Amino acid sequence: MDITVVLESIGSLLIMILAGFYAGRRNIITPDVNKGLIDILIHIALPFMILSSFVISYDIAIKSNVAKTFLYSLAAYGIMTAASYLLTAPIKGSRKTVLHFANVFVNTGYIGFPILNSVYGTEGVVYGSIFNIFFVVFVWTYGLLLYKGEPFNVNGNWKGEIGKILLNPSILAVAAGILLLIFNLALPRTLLTAVKGIGNMTGPLSMLIIGAILSKVSFKNFLKDWMVYYGVIIKLVAIPAVIYILALFAGDSSRAVNSVIIMTAMPASAMTSIFAEQFNKEKEFAAVLVSMTTLLSFITSTLLLSIIF
């Protein structure tokens, strides 16, 4: 595998973060503007990106692995959740929420997909897209509830809360995408171009938002913060190692399982910081954690790929 793909993917994200940092420092992106950008990201750009990720073609040779990838992906999320829950036990308060979310939800689209494409070509992208289905479903259910801080509101309006989740634009995009897959439907070229174009905004937009948040952060407060380093180790080393070892015991080294392992080793999702900003929970800590895992994932991803291959 050409390891420069890893460097290019991570490097491009860091440049986007720096652009957002500059815009924040120059007050081009003010707190109010950043809030608007977050709304655009969550309600418009992200759903379009999700829908476009379902526009994939299945080769006959890989269809047998598709069902296994569904099972592997579901198992991986279960393992990540359980391992994170145990490893973050010493942490209390909102930081535990941020760390746990970061451990479970990874940057699938903007680092994971390019790496899989480099390793396995379009076959890897198919497996990554299946993994991404679970990301979307869980981030807008389990992940959202983590940041809300309570399963349902204190008034007991659980039906209303479930309704909000089900009608979330990203969940609706998943439902539409699944229908496209099941019925093998193709979008008209004009519509597909528009969907992909708007969806492509998601990566740069999310990185600009993180950069703007980081522009208000006092980094001195985090350089000696052991939780940052502990979080990075859990996310990039401990959890991927657990999943890799379990895969070895299972005796499966297929492309499907390797693709899932690679995805679980990606840095923390930008949604870690986006939700932290939206719900005002340790937003500076979340932005630092996302940036640190993104930067250091170049090293850990390279090591993991050298072990797998």
Mean per-residue pLDDT, 173-197: 87
Range of the domain at 73: 4-308
CATH of the domain at 175: 1.20.1530.20
Mean pLDDT confidence for 185-208: 89
The CA distance from 223 to 220, in Å, is 5
pLDDT band at 152 (very low <50, low <70, confident <90, very high): very low
pLDDT in the model for residue 242: 94
Kindly tell me if the per-residue pLDDT of 155 is higher than 60. Answer: no
**Amino acid 113: pLDDT:** 78
Question: Residue 296 pLDDT more than 60?
Answer: yes
What is the length of the chain?
A: 309
pLDDT: is 277 or 221 the higher one?
277
pLDDT of 244 over the 60 cut: yes
Q: Structural domain tally of the chain?
A: 1
Band of residue 206 on the pLDDT scale cut at 50, 70, 90:
confident
Q: Is the dihedral of CA 75, 125, 49, 29 positive or negative?
A: positive
Alpha carbon distance, N-terminus to C-terminus of the chain: 9
pLDDT band at 154 (very low <50, low <70, confident <90, very high): very low
Taking residues 168-191, report their average pLDDT: 84
Q: Of 88-97, 106-115, 191-200, which range is least confident?
A: 106-115
* Mean pLDDT along residues 4-14: 76
Task: Give the range with max mean pLDDT: 11-25, 53-67, 102-116.
Answer: 11-25
Cβ(137)–Cβ(171) below 8 Å: yes
Question: Using 50, 70 and 90 to split pLDDT, how confident is the model at 57?
Answer: low
